[in-house]
Amino acid sequence: MTEVLFNEVLTLQVKSKDCEDRRTNIRVTIELQSTTNPIHKKDLVVRLTDDADPFFLYNLNISEEDFQSLKIQQGLLVEFSAFPQRFVDLLQQCIQEQTKDIPRFLLQLISSAPVLDHTPAFLNVVETNPFKHLTHLSLKLLPGTDATVKKYLAICLKCLKEEKLRLEQNLKKTEEDLSRQLNYTQQ
């Protein structure tokens, strides 16, 4: 079962090696994937995609065990169960600040390669106060392989087909409804 906790387009600051910083709009999705078979297990999935580029995909899968290392490594004070909401709160703060010239909260994607391609990248939520940059969270994301991009696109295609079907039904119903009303009033 997949529960979507966050799914929004955000302005992201991209920093890659030997390149000028640039800003781009990226969709950030946070999902909680639960499986009960064979064991009860929850995974937090973080995914970056670009609505304009179907091949752009970065993702991260955090299991409860992975979270323990992340917690120690980043000095987090929350448990796995509370973490997703805190992450969403941070992203909401970035959204509130993203139209400002000097945003207090900023979402960054940092790559050690010159272009975003096959290298892992760090997704950072950074607060800038008059004194310094404070990194609230830093997650290491992996670029999508052909196989993961393929799977992701298949899911997109399935959703879009369902939306299209709903729209077709809606259009048909609207045409029928209004024609009927029109006939009725013309009589």
| DSSP secondary structure letters along 97-118 | HTTSSS-SEEEEEEESSSSSSS
171 binds a second copy (CB under 8 A): yes
For residues 45 to 64, the per-residue mask of contacts with a second copy, x marking binding by CB under 8 A and - elsewhere, is ---------xx---------
156 binds a second copy (CB under 8 A): yes
What whole-number distance in Å separates Cα of residue 138 and Cα of residue 111? 12
- Tokens found for residue 112: 């050690």
What whole-number distance in Å separates Cα of residue 88 and Cα of residue 166? 30
What whole-number distance in Å separates Cα of residue 152 and Cα of residue 9? 17
Choose, by CB under 8 A, the member of 36, 37, 129, 185 that binds a second copy: 185
CB of 151 to a second copy, least distance (A): 8
Q: Which residues bind a second copy (CB under 8 A)?
A: 54-55, 145-147, 149-150, 153-154, 156-158, 160-161, 163-164, 167-168, 170-171, 174-175, 178-179, 181-182, 185-186
